């Protein structure tokens, strides 16, 4: 999960606005897409970051030269998996992250529906209650044991 770091420079066309979002659009057109982070403005230009799972770009834009210096950190597959499990919502600038948020919402709703219907059936089918209580107790014991082991390890 150790990132690979490289640097590159991108010069904006004279007709391109030097607004951070316009700079991010130019970067997106050359394959450097992601969510724009906090923008720090100064008289000389802007500093901001663009992030997505697997890549993190630190952008340092100079107004005088209309040049954006990018410090690019790319990570491997395991780091991408790590990042997508920390993301939430659908308000991202990067469309694949919004699609991931929708998929997570659908899976979550499905799991909740599965649990609710299981509880309903448990109360309606009386012959299954004994095995249900046994399975519930075994599952609870395993979960509590694992939580204790994780905390003490």
| Residue the block writes with tokens 């309903």 | 120
What's the pTM? 0.61
What's the rounded Cα separation, in Å, for the pair 142 and 153? Answer: 16
Query: What pLDDT was estimated at residue 126?
Result: 79
Q: Are 40 and 61 in contact (CB under 8 A)?
A: no
| The token pair that represents 4 in the structure block | 């690979």
Query: What pLDDT was estimated at residue 125?
Result: 82
- Residue 107 CB contacts under 8 Å (≥ 6 apart), including other chains: none
DSSP code, position 136: H
Mean pLDDT of residues grouped by 10 in the chain (153 residues)?
A: 84 84 84 85 90 89 90 87 81 84 93 90 80 88 94 81
């Amino acid at each position: 999960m150790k990132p690979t770091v490289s640097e590159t420079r991108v010069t904006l066309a004279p007709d391109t606005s030097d607004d951070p979002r316009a700079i991010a659009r130019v970067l997106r057109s050359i394959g450097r897409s992601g969510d724009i982070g906090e923008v720090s403005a100064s008289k000389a230009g802007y500093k901001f970051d663009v992030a997505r799972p697997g890549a993190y770009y630190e952008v340092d834009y100079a107004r005088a030269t209309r040049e954006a210096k990018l410090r690019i950190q790319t990570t491997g597959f395991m780091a991408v998996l790590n990042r997508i499990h920390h993301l939430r919502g659908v308000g991202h600038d990067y469309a694949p992250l919004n699609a991931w948020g929708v998929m997570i919402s659908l899976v979550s709703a499905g799991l909740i529906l599965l649990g609710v219907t299981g509880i309903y059936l448990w109360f309606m089918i009386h012959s299954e209650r004994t095995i249900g209580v046994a399975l519930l107790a075994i599952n609870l014991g395993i979960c509590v044991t694992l939580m204790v082991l994780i905390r003490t390890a």
